[in-house]
Each structure stands twice: as structure tokens, then as C-alpha cells.
């Protein structure tokens, strides 16, 4: 039997004689089954992760909302009620980089208009004073009759009653403690200055020590005036100064401080109020400034060219606000925004207040007391000027270099003056912090602090004019 026959027989042997269906191998259907299973598994995994993500987002939103509600509740519980003090947690909240105090005070600055311009000012009830512009650089004014004769007399008597301290001449600023410790006699001071030890002080020896402190210096012309006032130049050539007395080694001046706050003499309080109206500054600034300084110059007394205030740099602190400074500073200066000078008597000879560089004058043109701008001491008259420029935003700016001034030698008689300085820190934050600290002190401690600080601010403080 052949192979074809065997195949035919096999086909005939199929049931019902119908044609046989040829089934595909199982391996042909398996790939489609595996692909379907994988797709369902992938979909389930993706949906699980998606739901977990949605749940996490919802949970995070609930957490943020809950935390915000807790913070608001804490803030409302810490807020002061009934004018009470805020809790300590709130005090820590402000950012340290933001200013502590918002500048809400602007310093009024009087306009000079032009040299010779006269303004009417009301300083006391029922009277109008005239204020004359003497210069624009510095901004300088003159007010005749600012004090009455009785007020001048009372101020001088109060100063004598309290006692006037001797004002030193040749001790440099910052060396007062050392000089006190050494306790040098007038002869020892003279010998210290007498470089060649010939018993006389030559011009070059004086000039070697002429820079008494920052912003204060002597010129040869100053020295010649001093020689004339002291009558110590026997040869009249201005080259040699013979050995002098103790009263000539000091500045021939004495000074004291008169408190002007609550409980002070009525005249002193009225002068302070009058100064407040004159300068148009906030009363708080005037109240927290230095007390009234009274100075008496004998014949030969003088004060060479100087500035009442020094320039303020980042490393410099103002003396009156040093307690409010957060950090220690290597340098301090007296920040006297305004100087008000009162003449308590008319001087018989000399004693003028000179402004050698006012209105662009220079030392080459005018020197010392030979300058054109000199104010003659007249009883009751006041002059005042700004020691600083404006910063353009209503506060204190840079030092006004034109405010250089000095007191000419008293050639005959005695000279009585009083100084009222208005202290303002060019750093607004320091000034505001200082005023806040002082306002928190009891009144008696506040008054004691202001009085005791007068001599601490500068032991050789401006025995001037």
C-alpha cells in the first residue's frame, strides 16, 4: 500500500464523513492572551498610584489649612488688649532687617533768604523780635534783645551760685584722665611744651601743639592775638612767648552747666521754651539736649577756630545717644545740630565771635579775628546757626564745614556768654531709640541722667566763644 492510499483512508475514517477542521496550535493563541493580561495589570497599578497621589494632595491641603488656622489663633491670643503690652512672642516677630522706627518727624529748617534779610519772629507774648540773616553758609542769624537785662543778670548769678569750673587749654581731647592722673603743674606743662628748654615758647613750638583736638587748631595769627591779649610778647615781634602764669596757661575762662527742666529756675525754663519757638524744633528734642552752659572769660580769654560738632561716620557714635547704640563704636562726637549763643554782657574790648570761612571766605583771604564776619558781644543778643546741613528728607545731613567759628581775645574787661546746643543724631533710628529709652525712665531718673551727662559728654566741652 502506497502513502497516498494511507492518507485517503485516514480521511475516510473521520466521523460523519465531513471534512476535518484543522485547529491552530496552542502556541498561536498564547501571545494574544498574555498581552491582555499585561494591559489590565498596568492599568490597575497606574490607578493605585494615581489615587495615592490624590490622597496625599488632599492630606497636604488639609494640613496647610489646619496650620494656618492655628497660627491665626495664636496671633489673636498674643495681641494686646486694653492697651496692655504685647506678648514676648509678638515682639520677636518683626524682621531684624526692617527699621525699628518709621520716620514720622521732620526737622524744620529756617530759610535765610539772603544776607541782611530781616524776619519777624514771635518769641514772647506781646512782643515781636527781629531776626537778621548774617550768612547763608553757615545759616547764621542774629536776634537782638533775645534776653532782657534781668534775665542776663539772673543767669550770671545762678552760674556764680553753682560755681564755675576752670576750662583747660592745652589738654587734648581724650587725654583728660591721663592729665588728671599725672597731675602736672603749670611749670611742668610749660617745660613739656618748651622743646629747646630755653625758658620761652617760640612760635614753632606752639604750632607743634596747636592741634588741640579734631576740628580745632591755631594759626600764627591766632597766636599773635593771644600774645597781645596775654601781654606776654615783650619784644612785640610775635616770635617769643615768655614764661607765663597759671591763669595764662588755661584759657582764662570758667564754665558751669544750668539745668533747665522741671523744678529749675523760672528764667531758665522760659529761655528753653523761647529757644524751642525760635528753632521751631520738637520740644522733645530741646528737652533732651544738653543743659545751658554758662562761660566767663577774663581778659586774655579766647577760643580758637573750631566746630561745635564733628562729622559722623559709620564707625562714629553721637555722645548723647551712645546708650541707645546697639554696638560699641571706637569714636564719639558731640552731635549738636544747632548752636544758640547768648551774650550776657557787653564786652569793653575784643571778645567778638568770628566766622572766618563764612560765605566762601577762606583763610587766604581772611584769617582768624581779622575776618569781615564778626559778631560784637552785646548784652541780651543771641546768635544761632546750624552745624549740619539737611539730608534733603527733613533730617540731619553732613557737617557744615562753613560753621567754623572762634572767640576773639578779650582785650579789656570780662565776657559772659551762654550756650544752648540742640543735640540730634544724624542716625534717625538711634535718635528715636534714645528718646524711647529716656521716655521709659521715671521723671526723677530722667532729670538726673540729663544733668550728670553734661560733663560726661565732653570733659573739656566747648568752653567757647
Per-residue pLDDT of the chain in tens (465 residues, 90 and over written 9): 445 454 445 444 444 444 444 545 544 444 545 555 567 777 788 888 888 888 888 888 877 777 766 555 555 444 444 444 444 334 343 343 345 788 888 999 999 999 999 999 999 999 999 999 999 999 999 999 999 999 999 999 999 999 988 775 444 444 555 555 555 555 665 666 666 666 666 656 655 554 444 444 455 555 565 555 555 555 655 444 444 444 444 456 889 999 999 999 999 999 999 999 999 999 999 999 999 999 999 998 888 888 999 888 877 889 898 877 766 777 788 999 999 999 999 999 999 999 999 987 654 444 456 677 999 999 999 999 999 999 999 999 999 999 999 999 999 999 999 999 999 999 999 999 999 988 888 766 555 555 445 544 443 333 333
Q: Is position 420 within any domain? A: yes
Q: Is the alpha carbon torsion for 253, 254, 259, 264 positive or negative?
A: negative
Angle in degrees, 0-180, between the axes of helices 266-279 and 149-162, rounded to the nearest 10: 120
Q: How many domains does the chain have?
A: 1
Sign of the Cα pseudo-torsion (315, 319, 321, 323, in order): positive
88 falls within a domain: no
CA distance 385 to 279: 10
Q: How far apart are CA 385 and CA 257, in angstroms?
A: 21
In a domain, 237, yes or no: no
Domain CATH number, residue 385: 2.60.120.620
Q: Give the H/E segment covering residue 273.
A: helix 266-279
Phi then psi for residue 65, to 5 deg, are -60, -40
d(Cα 408, Cα 271) in Å, to the nearest integer? 26
Residues 6 or more apart from 262 whose CB is under 8 A from it?
Answer: 443, 447
User: Where is 40: in which H helix or E strand?
Assistant: helix 26-78
Residue 162 in any domain: the answer is: yes
414, part of any domain:
yes
Does any domain span residue 362? yes
Q: Which three cell numbers stand for residue 30?
A: 498564547
The answer to whether the CB of 423 falls within 8 A of the CB of 337 is: yes
How far, in Å, CA of 66 to CA of 60, rounded? 10
Q: Is residue 112 part of a domain?
A: no
CB atoms within 10 A of CB 227: 25
How close are the terminal C-alpha atoms of the chain, in Å?
154
Are 426 and 396 within 8 A, CB to CB?
A: yes
Give domain status of residue 163, yes or no.
yes
Beta-strand relationship, 382-386 and 140-143:
antiparallel
* Structural contact between residues 268 and 159, judged by C-beta atoms closer than 8 angstroms: no
Domain of 295? 117-169+250-440
Amino acid at each position: 500500500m502506497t502513502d497516498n492510499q494511507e492518507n485517503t483512508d485516514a480521511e475516510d475514517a473521520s466521523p460523519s464523513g465531513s471534512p476535518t477542521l484543522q485547529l491552530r496550535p496552542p502556541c498561536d493563541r498564547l501571545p494574544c492572551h498574555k498581552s491582555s493580561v499585561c494591559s489590565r495589570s498596568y492599568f490597575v497599578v497606574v490607578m493605585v498610584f494615581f489615587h495615592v497621589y490624590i490622597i496625599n494632595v488632599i492630606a497636604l491641603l488639609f494640613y496647610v489649612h489646619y496650620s494656618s488656622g492655628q497660627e491665626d489663633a495664636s496671633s489673636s491670643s498674643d495681641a494686646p488688649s486694653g492697651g496692655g503690652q504685647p506678648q514676648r512672642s509678638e515682639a520677636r516677630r518683626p524682621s531684624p532687617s526692617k527699621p525699628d522706627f518709621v520716620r514720622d518727624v521732620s526737622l524744620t529748617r529756617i530759610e535765610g533768604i539772603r544776607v541782611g534779610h530781616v524776619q519777624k519772629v514771635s518769641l514772647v507774648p506781646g512782643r515781636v523780635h527781629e531776626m537778621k540773616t548774617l550768612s547763608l553758609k553757615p545759616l547764621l542769624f542774629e536776634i537782638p534783645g533775645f534776653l532782657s537785662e534781668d534775665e542776663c543778670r539772673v543767669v550770671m548769678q545762678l552760674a556764680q551760685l553753682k560755681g564755675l569750673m576752670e576750662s583747660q587749654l592745652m589738654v587734648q581731647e581724650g587725654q583728660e584722665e591721663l592729665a588728671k592722673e599725672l597731675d602736672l603743674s603749670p611749670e611742668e606743662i610749660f617745660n613739656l611744651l618748651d622743646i629747646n628748654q630755653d625758658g620761652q615758647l617760640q612760635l614753632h613750638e606752639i604750632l607743634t601743639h596747636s592741634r588741640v583736638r579734631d576740628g580745632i587748631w591755631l594759626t600764627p595769627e591766632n597766636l599773635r592775638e593771644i600774645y597781645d591779649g596775654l601781654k606776654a610778647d615783650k619784644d612785640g615781634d610775635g616770635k617769643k612767648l615768655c614764661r607765663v602764669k597759671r591763669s595764662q596757661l588755661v584759657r582764662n575762662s570758667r564754665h558751669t552747666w544750668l539745668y533747665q527742666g522741671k523744678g529749675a529756675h523760672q528764667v531758665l525754663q522760659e529761655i528753653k521754651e523761647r529757644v524751642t519757638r525760635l528753632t521751631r524744633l520738637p520740644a522733645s528734642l530741646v528737652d533732651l539736649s544738653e543743659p545751658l552752659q554758662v562761660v566767663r572769660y577774663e581778659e586774655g580769654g579766647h577760643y580758637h577756630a573750631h566746630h561745635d560738632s564733628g562729622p559722623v561716620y559709620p564707625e562714629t557714635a553721637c555722645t548723647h545717644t551712645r546708650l541707645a547704640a546697639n554696638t560699641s563704636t571706637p569714636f564719639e562726637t558731640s552731635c549738636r545740630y544747632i548752636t544758640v549763643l547768648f551774650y550776657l554782657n557787653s564786652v569793653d574790648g575784643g571778645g567778638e565771635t568770628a566766622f572766618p570761612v563764612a560765605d566762601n571766605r577762606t583763610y587766604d583771604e581772611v584769617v582768624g579775628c581779622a575776618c569781615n564776619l564778626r559778631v560784637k558781644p552785646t548784652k541780651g543778643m543771641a546768635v544761632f546757626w546750624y552745624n549740619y546741613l539737611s539730608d534733603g528728607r527733613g533730617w540731619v545731613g553732613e557737617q557744615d564745614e562753613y560753621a567754623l567759628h572762634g572767640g576773639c581775645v578779650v582785650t579789656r574787661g570780662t565776657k559772659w556768654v551762654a550756650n544752648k546746643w540742640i543735640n540730634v543724631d544724624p542716625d534717625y533710628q538711634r535718635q528715636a531709640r534714645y528718646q524711647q529709652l529716656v521716655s521709659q525712665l521715671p521723671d526723677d531718673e530722667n532729670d538726673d541722667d540729663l544733668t550728670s551727662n553734661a560733663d560726661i559728654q565732653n570733659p573739656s566741652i566747648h568752653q567757647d566763644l
